[in-house]
Amino acid sequence: MSTDSRASAELLERVRGFFAARQFLEVSTPLIDAEMIPEAHIDPFEVPGLGYLRPSPEMHLKRLLCAGSGAIFEIGRCFRAGERGNLHQPEFTMVEWYRPGDDMRAGIELLDQLMQEVAGSPPAKKTSYAEAFEQTLGWNPHTWPLERLQQVAGESIADRDELLNVLLAKQVEPTLGSGPPEILYHYPASQSALATTTFHKTGIEVAERFELYWKGVELANGYHELTDAGELRRRLVTANHQRVAGGRPALPLPEKLLAAMDNPGLPSCAGVALGFDRLLMLSVGADSIGQVMEGNNARR
Amino acid sequence: MASYNTSDFRKGLKVQIDGTPFSIIEMTFRKPGKGAALYECKLRNLLRNTIVDRTYRAGQTLEVADVTEFTAQYLYRQSDSFVFMNNDDYEQYELSEDQVGNFARFLKEGMDCQLMTFNDLPIAVTPPKHVVLQVEVAEPTAKGNTATNVQKPVKLETGAEIGAPPFINSGDWIRVDTRTGEYIERTTEPEEKS
């Protein structure tokens, strides 16, 4: 047993304590299911005859919310094929929570409190996606023309979101959360994933999606959740189209969740997924999540 | 043309970009937010030995480079080129002085090296880490001057001149580090290989 095992147990205990103090219910949902929430860039492991290992607990947690669970959280293993690096392992631990009644602001506040109480971080800095680009690169990511984006990225990629992602990863991310954690919010509407969208005071449509960075590491992703089943279905079908265009198989839609969102409906809520191994890695000062994952040496 | 997908990318993979062979010497997997995975690669140009940084997105491909590495023994020098022979199939390869590099001064007939070819043409040779060579000329050292931190120049059988400790005499066999060109130790004559 390593000293990291103790650090891991203590961190888990603090996470559970944080949610217990706020009357969240801890739940444990299935790891294998025939349905899932397809994403353009996440590949699940197939379990022959049964479906897939979950890439995230989101589908089942939202079904519980529809069933009237109230505030819930889950700490559990998730699985993503083909992801391996300092910050990625095909098997990892996610902390995911939802609280009905929360909007994006409340979701950001709760995440900030969790970081302070659980990881001992200073209060988070809140920066809009546009501000982050403006501060680092000097221009607005929502309005800059595609050709200019291609020029600064030095890439001929035709997809605007992919270009912004490359620029975010290579030029903006390294500057984020160098002091206190930094929460980026109001992503481009085209990158809303499962978040609602809203119109910014400048007239630009943005996603009520947020991500927390600390010491250059992306730790958590959150949404003011999309509750419209029809809109969700449309986005998931689009994600499947993107998958097929990129040479990946389409994935089965979460029909049971979509039906529950229709009736009785998903309560308005904010939800966040946080990479537990990455938080542990930062709190013990390791260089990779592989280093802090129990028994992982044999499979590296 | 065969190609590698980003999911095949790993350290040591030999690929070609615009007809030039490269070896992936470092690969960082990154996946920002909800976006496509990025593979940040450091690649060594196998012809020029320079290093370039390139970022590839999930789904991109790189052509396979037909790069082969095998053991070859040095046969002889022929004006400006050096002739090596593949120990398995006796095929001979000529390399220029540039391709052999600094190591040329330690090359001795029959020495086993690692040869690298690209599309069957030789592009680089890697010497053994250490070689054992005979000292041809070493000036006698004045009596009493046996301090080991003082070195004197000696000339080796291949013509190379390096620094060696005062106790080394003409006719001694010494081990030399081919990377730094430095003396390592005095040793005995290597056995003839069969």
pLDDT in tens, A38-87: 999 999 999 999 999 999 999 999 999 999 999 999 999 999 998 989 99
Residue A12 has pLDDT above 90, yes or no: yes
Number of domains, chain A:
1
Residue A152 located in a structural domain: no
Residue A256 located in a structural domain: yes
Q: Do A166 and B57 touch (CB under 8 A)?
A: yes
pLDDT classification of A299: cutoffs 50, 70, 90: very low
Contacts of B59 in chain A (CB under 8 A): 246-247
Residue B53 located in a structural domain: yes
Q: Is A42 within 8 Å of A249 (Cβ atoms)? A: no
Is there a single domain that holds both residue B138 and residue B174? yes
Residue B10 located in a structural domain: yes
Helix and strand numbers, DSSP H then E, in chain A: 10, 12
Is there a single domain that holds both residue B103 and residue B143? no
Residue A126 located in a structural domain: no
| Prediction ipTM score | 0.84
Q: What are phi and psi of A10, to 5 degrees?
A: -70, -40
- B38 interface with A at CB cutoff 8 Å: yes
CA gap B3, B8 in Å, rounded: 10
- B55 interface with A at CB cutoff 8 Å: yes
Residue A250 located in a structural domain: yes
Number of domains, chain B:
3
Range(s) of the domain holding residue A10: 3-121+229-296
Task: Answer positive or negative: Cα dihedral of B128, B129, B130, B136.
Answer: positive
Q: Is A236 within 8 Å of A253 (Cβ atoms)? A: yes
Residue B49 has pLDDT above 80, yes or no: yes
First and final CA of chain A: distance in angstroms? 18
Q: Is B41 within 8 Å of B30 (Cβ atoms)? A: no
Is there a single domain that holds both residue B134 and residue B179? yes
Residues 6+ apart with CB under 8 A from B191: none
Residue B21 located in a structural domain: yes
Residue A58 located in a structural domain: yes
Residue B193 located in a structural domain: no
Cβ atoms within 10 Å of B170's Cβ, excluding its own:
13
Residue B192 located in a structural domain: no
Domain boundary among B126, B149, B170: B126
CA gap A184, A179 in Å, rounded: 14
pLDDT for position B186 = 93
Which two tokens mark A193?
């994933």
Q: Is B173 within 8 Å of B187 (Cβ atoms)? A: yes
pLDDT classification of A35: cutoffs 50, 70, 90: very high
pTM, 2 dp: 0.83
CA gap B66, B180 in Å, rounded: 30
Task: Name the residue among B29, B31, B36 with its Cβ closest to that of A162.
Answer: B36
- B5 interface with A at CB cutoff 8 Å: no
Range(s) of the domain holding residue B150: 130-187
Which two tokens mark A205?
């449509």
Which two tokens mark A128?
């809009």
Residue A216 located in a structural domain: no
Q: Is A163 within 8 Å of A146 (Cβ atoms)? A: yes
Domain boundary among B64, B88, B115: B64
Residue A186 located in a structural domain: no
Residue A151 located in a structural domain: no
Is there a single domain that holds both residue B57 and residue B71? no
Place of tokens 């001057």: B145
Domain boundary among B126, B143, B172: B126
CA gap A225, A269 in Å, rounded: 6
Report the CATH number that the domain containing residue A117 is assigned in CATH. 3.30.930.10
> Per CB distance under 8 Å, which residues of A are interface residues toward B?
39-41, 82-88, 157, 161-162, 165-166, 168-170, 173, 187, 191, 193, 211, 218, 221, 246-247
pLDDT classification of A3: cutoffs 50, 70, 90: low
Q: Do A165 and B30 touch (CB under 8 A)?
A: no
